[in-house]
Amino acid sequence: MTVKELQSEIISLRKKADATILAHYYQPIEIQEIADFLGDSLGLSRIAKEKTNTEYIIFAGVDFMAETASIINPDKHVMLPSYESFCPMAAFLTPEKVREFKKIYSELPTVVYVNSTAAVKAECDVCCTSSNAVKIVKAIKEEYDVEAVLFGPDANLADYAEQKSNIKTIKMPENGHCYVHSQITLEDIKTARKAHPNALLLVHPECKREVRDLADFVGSTAQMYNFAKESPPEEINFIIGTEEGLLERMAQDFHDKRFYIAKEKLICYNMKKHNLELIKYVLEHPDDKKHEVKVPSEIAKKAVIPIEKMLKYS
């Protein structure tokens, strides 16, 4: 079957299967093209909660995104096309580690990046995503009337939130990071700037501070997309410091603009484990439990609290 044939088969199957397809911007472009909704982590959580009224949610993203969708939609079946699609950053933080930090800093609230397991979320006070981390840190500081917060597992996002809010973030752990974004170096930026001297540099907050500090704009995937969309017509060239799936989306949507990747092979291989064949498979086999994401109810009951608090605050 050709890509086009597979895509049209999926479009007709999803109606019959009573399914909604959600896709993150890092998905292969042929998946982005057939998604009912496309978005960043926060946008997809919101859509999962407010806009999906089907029995099945097919989540083309990594496991923590599907877990979040399942926690806030306990009566729906959330399916991961590839059940091996996980975010390695989440492994930097365990529930035991959070408890250790909470023992040492017992007065401080815990902010957890959504890129974490449900069991870790269950130990924390509020979740955040890359698009609302600054806002959440400010809001939780007010709520607890403290001078600092615990923040994990991404030390770069914690540093970004601290830089923008002037509120100290104690990193849980010190070195949590994303292998895709943290590989971008100053040298890469210098090379990209030299090759495209008139381009604006857009980077994700998971990048290191030295890279973020050189950027014209720092934001989540959806925020970068909107920045390019709303930029004046004379801004034509953009260097993109995030996973290349977003660049492909923008190149398709904004024909009068040019996009250049900050470094070759900025690929999240975990996001790219999904493909059209697997989506077709789950639509045809909705009872295949291997693909269903279910969080044990005692963990879900606790993890929903920081997720709901995030949605309320953002």
Site of interaction with ligand 13P (CB under 6 A): 24, 40-41, 115, 129-131, 178, 206, 220-221
Question: Rounded to the nearest whole angstrom, what is the least distance from the CB of residue 113 to ligand 13P in the complex?
Answer: 9
Could you tell me the smallest distance in angstroms from the CB atom of residue 95 to ligand SF4? 19
- Supply 15's token pair: 């109606």
Question: Interface with ligand SF4 includes 89 (CB under 6 A)?
Answer: yes
Beta pairing class for 168-171 and 148-152: parallel
3-class DSSP state of 197: coil
Of the candidate spans 74-82, 136-144, 177-185, 273-281, the one that interacts with ligand SF4 by CB under 6 A turns out to be 177-185
From 47-55, 85-93, 232-240, 253-261, span contacting ligand SF4 (CB under 6 A): 85-93
Dist CA 270 CA 24 (whole Å): 12
Output the smallest distance, CB 230 to ligand 13P, in A: 17
Q: Does 87 bind ligand SF4 (CB under 6 A)?
A: yes
Distance between CA atoms of 243 and 266, rounded to whole angstroms? Answer: 5
Instruction: Select 16 or 265, whichever has its Cβ closest to ligand SF4.
Output: 265
Provide the minimum distance between the beta carbon of 306 and ligand 13P in the complex, in angstroms, as a whole number.
16
Find the largest Cα–Cα distance for the chain. 59
Q: Which of 149, 117, 146 is nearest to 134 (CA)?
A: 149
**Least Å from the CB of residue 256 to ligand 13P:** 24
Phi and psi based region of residue 265 (left: phi greater than 0; alpha: psi -120 to 50; beta: remaining): left
**Pick from 137, 271, 295, 299: which binds ligand SF4 (CB under 6 A)?**
271
d(CA 33, CA 46): 20
Closest by CA position to 161, among listed 116, 113, 202: 113
- Closest to 239 (Cα-Cα) out of 256, 221, 217, 272: 217
**Distance from the Cα of residue 276 to its chain's centroid:** 21
In contact, 308 and 136? CB cutoff 8 Å: no
Shortest reach from residue 242's CB to ligand SF4, in Å: 8
DSSP 8-state assignment for residue 292? B
Select the binding partner of residue 129 from ligand SF4, ligand 13P, none (C-beta < 5 to 8 A, by kind): ligand 13P
Q: Assess 180 for contact with ligand SF4 (CB under 6 A).
A: yes
Using CB under 6 A as the binding criterion, the count of chain residues that bind ligand SF4 stands at: 13
**Binding segment for ligand SF4 among 75-83, 86-94, 104-112, 160-168 (CB under 6 A)?**
86-94
> Taking CB under 6 A as the rule, does residue 114 contact ligand SF4?
no
Residue 243 lies near ligand SF4 (rule: CB under 6 A): yes
62: its two tokens: 């990594």
- Options 95-103, 227-235, 265-273, 286-294: segment touching ligand SF4 (CB under 6 A): 265-273
Name which of 70 and 220 has its Cβ closer to ligand 13P.
220
Residue (17 or 65) nearer to ligand SF4, CB? 65
Q: Which of 7, 33, 37, 88 binds ligand SF4 (CB under 6 A)?
A: 88
Q: How far apart are CA 165 and CA 135, in angstroms?
A: 8
- Find the binder of ligand SF4 among 69, 178, 184, 310 (CB under 6 A): 178
| Torsional sign, CA 251, 252, 253, 257 | positive
Cα 163 to chain centroid, rounded: 21
How long is the chain? 314
Where does this chain bind ligand SF4 (CB under 6 A)?
62, 87-89, 115, 178-180, 206, 243, 268, 270-271
